[in-house]
């Protein structure tokens, strides 16, 4: 009699090696990290716990669910949507397909906003145009708790996600969410010391070359910046000044190679002290400028 055949044991270490190798063949930038995040999500374990318990076999139902997660990632669905979360500025934001996934590079916009406004101890008013998940607005509100922050978005779905993040992360006092097409929901007399925006800035030509995971899963309205990618910058430099205090700051995230064009838009609209800031990867990332103060 031949010995009974047994199924091979799929331990944590084995499934991680399999998933990482598979993701690597598909060109993912950090295949091992992606595998660890997905398995940790399924097993409710940290990456350190996965390492310490590497020889633990997976149960059949755990293995089946992990395989389903792998298939979703293979299809191009971003890990942030699969996990339902993304870290930004040291905080965990909930995300889904209703909103653009916050990128690490966008933290530079928050850095610029903090650097170009009043010290932490003083109060002020800030506006985020096109808030999406609320990552920028909520982060600024938590970093400057004495400031009042208003977040605008055209999408009701995006505002629902932003509201959830604001409540969960403690951005409650002085925090306001409004459905608005750019500045349309604001009262004419409303003024802010700071206006920030990470607008859609991908040109129509570039849209066709984007990664499948972005094109197929992230909201197109959060990406499409018009024929040359500059439509929203033109609208922002025109619409922001009536809602800025004298000396108030407008700061926007930009795409690759858009720095000179957006700087020129700022200057042509009358902004002064216009600055171009690079991100941690040494790429042009933020253009900011001030509304001129009244001469006395």
Per residue in 91-114, pLDDT (tens digit) is 999 999 999 999 999 999 999 999
> Does 12-74 carry CATH code 1.10.10.1100?
no
Q: Does residue 5 surpass a pLDDT of 50?
A: no
Q: Does residue 58 surpass a pLDDT of 80?
A: yes
**Residue 31 in contact with residue 24, Cβ under 8 Å?**
yes
How many other C-beta atoms are found inside a 10 Å radius of the C-beta of residue 13?
Answer: 14
CB-based contacts of 266: which residues, under 8 Å, 6+ apart?
237, 250, 274, 287, 289
What is the domain partition of the chain in residue ranges?
A: 12-74, 98-290
- What are the phi and psi torsion angles at 70 (to 5°)? -60, -40
- Percentage of the chain exceeding pLDDT 70: 96
**One CATH from 3.40.50.1820, 3.40.605.10, 3.40.50.150, 3.40.1410.10 for 98-290:** 3.40.50.150
The residue assigned the tokens 């500025």 is 89
**Within 13 A of 265's CA, how many CA atoms are on the CB side?**
25
CB-based contacts of 149: which residues, under 8 Å, 6+ apart?
125, 126, 127, 128, 137, 140, 141, 171, 174, 175, 176
**Residue 182 in contact with residue 129, Cβ under 8 Å?**
yes
What whole-number distance in Å separates Cα of residue 116 and Cα of residue 126? Answer: 12
At 175 the pLDDT is 97
Helices (H) and strands (E) counted in the chain, each on its own, are: 12, 9
At 3 the pLDDT is 44
Write the pLDDT tens digit of every residue in 265-276.
999 999 999 999
């Amino acid at each position: 009699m031949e010995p009974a055949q047994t199924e091979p044991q799929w331990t944590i270490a084995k499934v991680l090696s399999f998933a990482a190798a598979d993701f690597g063949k598909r060109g993912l930038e950090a295949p091992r990290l992606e595998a660890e995040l997905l398995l940790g999500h399924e097993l409710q374990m940290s990456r350190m716990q996965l390492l310490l318990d590497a020889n633990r076999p997976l149960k059949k139902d755990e293995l089946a669910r992990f395989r389903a997660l792998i298939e979703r990632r293979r299809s191009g669905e971003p890990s942030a949507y699969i996990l339902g979360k993304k870290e930004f500025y040291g905080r965990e934001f909930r995300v889904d397909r209703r909103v653009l996934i916050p990128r690490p590079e966008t933290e530079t916009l928050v850095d610029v906003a903090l650097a170009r406004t009043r010290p932490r101890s003083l109060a002020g008013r800030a506006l985020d145009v096109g808030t999406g998940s609320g990552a920028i607005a909520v982060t600024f509100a938590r970093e400057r708790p004495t400031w009042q922050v208003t977040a605008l978005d055209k999408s009701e779905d995006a505002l629902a996600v932003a509201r959830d993040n604001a409540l969960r992360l403690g951005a409650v006092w002085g925090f306001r969410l409004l459905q608005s097409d750019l500045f349309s929901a604001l009262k004419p007399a409303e003024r802010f010391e700071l206006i920030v925006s990470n607008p859609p800035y991908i040109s129509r030509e570039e849209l066709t070359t984007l990664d499948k995971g972005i094109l197929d899963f992230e909201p197109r309205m959060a990406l499409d910046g018009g024929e040359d990618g500059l439509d929203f910058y033109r609208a922002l430099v025109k619409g922001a000044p009536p809602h800025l205090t004298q000396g108030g700051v407008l700061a926007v995230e930009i795409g690759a190679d858009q720095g000179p064009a957006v700087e020129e838009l700022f200057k042509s609209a009358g902004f002064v002290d216009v600055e171009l800031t690079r991100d941690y990867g040494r790429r042009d990332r933020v253009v900011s400028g001030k509304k001129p103060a009244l001469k006395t």
